[in-house]
Amino acid sequence: MDKIIFHIDVNSAYLSWSALEKLYNGSDTDLRVIPAIIGGDMAKRHGVVLAKSIPAKSYGVTTGEPIVNALRKCPNLTIEPPDHKLYSLRSKELMALLYDICPDIEQVSVDECYMDYTPIRRQYTSPEAAAHMIKEQIKEKLGFTVNIGISDRKVLAKMASDFRKPNLVHTLYSYEIEEKM
């Protein structure tokens, strides 16, 4: 049987992680449900959008664009500076949780990794069932959502995790390319 690979990707990682941290610290605003971005210095109005909330996205705000542009599209945008120390901590927690499920993990960025499902396949009824279980466990234990892409090839698993977001599982097996792409 072919290998099965998961690509696990945190939805708007910087935004989600900063949002959760503010809530833990007593804020009553959840950055995930208002037009908000993570980006450079608001006072100086420089820097680029590093991550955006779904409401910000609906104003046409895109990751990588200058903050001045984003503010033109959405003048009431909340801008939060990045906290890389926090992100690295959340990243470690996520990878530790995933490692407990299956140690065959290859981390590719602060919020993304591949997991080889093949060695744990007997524990689950299907790859999709396993992916949903993993996704729910992350949400329950760590408080944020991920997308999981499933495929027989890494590059396709990564493409699948980028299909509709957030909080979803998608497959893109080699034999599904024509149908899904």
Name the residue among 91, 110, 92, 133 with its Cα closest to residue 6.
Answer: 133
- Kindly state whether residue 111 participates in binding Mg ion, applying the rule CB under 5 A: yes
* CB of 148 or CB of 172, closer to Mg ion: 148
Q: With contacts defined by CB under 5 A, how many residues of the chain interact with Mg ion?
A: 4
Among 5, 8, 10, 94, binds Mg ion (CB under 5 A): 10
Region near Mg ion per CB under 5 A, out of 9-17, 39-47, 57-65, 152-160: 9-17
Is 140 an annotated catalytic residue?
Answer: no
Catalytic residue among 112, 140, 176, 179: 112
| Active site residue ranges | 112
Q: Which residues contribute to the site for Mg ion (CB under 5 A)?
A: 9-10, 13, 111
